[in-house]
Structure 1
Amino acid sequence: MPYVLLAAAIAAEVAGTTAMKFSDGFTKMWPSIGTVLGYLVAFTLLAQTLKTMSVGAAYAIWAGVGTAAIAAIGMLFLGEAATAAKIAGIALIIGGVVLLNLGGAAH
């Protein structure tokens, strides 16, 4: 169950960050509201996750997957360049999260 909550927290954070891109510096009301709601839901779900999961593992997964997802969204849907360095960076983020979990952060 904690991984389901964590996945929902990541989805809410990614939605909030994507909305922030469209808020035009918080000058557009609906994307700004989407940003605030996305982060409110994300932090609430992350807090619930931390009741049963170690903070190191939960935060590594939340931050890493969220960062990789936003980078991918930028490249796939927002016209950002998909350079070899960005793709390698995403791979390194994912690898780092896996290593943290294999190294005992999850236990």
Structure 2
Amino acid sequence: MGRSYLYLLLAIIFEIIATTFLKKSEQFTKLLPSIITLIGYIVTFYLLSLTLRQVPVGIAYAIWSGVGIIFITIIGIVVFKQVPDLPAIIGILLIVIGVVVINLFSKMGSH
């Protein structure tokens, strides 16, 4: 099971990189950021597929999206100067709370 969560962590990292470079690609008009985006997403989905051998899809996706949204929001603030407003912050907190609840209390599959 530990290896599956390592794959999930790596999938999250590659997804964060790919999403960051998606913004930098300027609608795929810049070659290098576009290539990094495409490679990042390919690696992400491959690693996510490896994760799903052991981790239920709902659990994996909740963790992936919850952690991803936190880091992408931080990158958006620091790199792109996109400061979230109060409703966005509340929404993000609700997503994080949902991920925590699933991981602490769910009996869904083995995780």
Deviation at 1:29? 0.4
Q: Percent identity?
A: 43
Match in the other structure for 2:99: 97
Deviation at 1:9? 0.1
Give RMSD over aligned pairs. 1.4
Match in the other structure for 1:70: 72
Contact kept? 1:68, 1:93, Cα under 8 Å: no
SS, match of residue 105 in structure 1: coil
TM-score, with length taken from structure 1:
0.90
Q: How do residues 13-92 of structure 1 correspond to structure 2 at under 5 angstroms? A: 13-92=15-94
Contact kept? 1:2, 1:53, Cα under 8 Å: yes
Q: How many residues align?
A: 107
Could you tell me which amino acid in structure 2 is paired with residue 77 of structure 1? V
Encode CA deviations 1:50-102: one digit per residue, 9 max, x unaligned. 01111111111111211221112101221011433333332221111111222
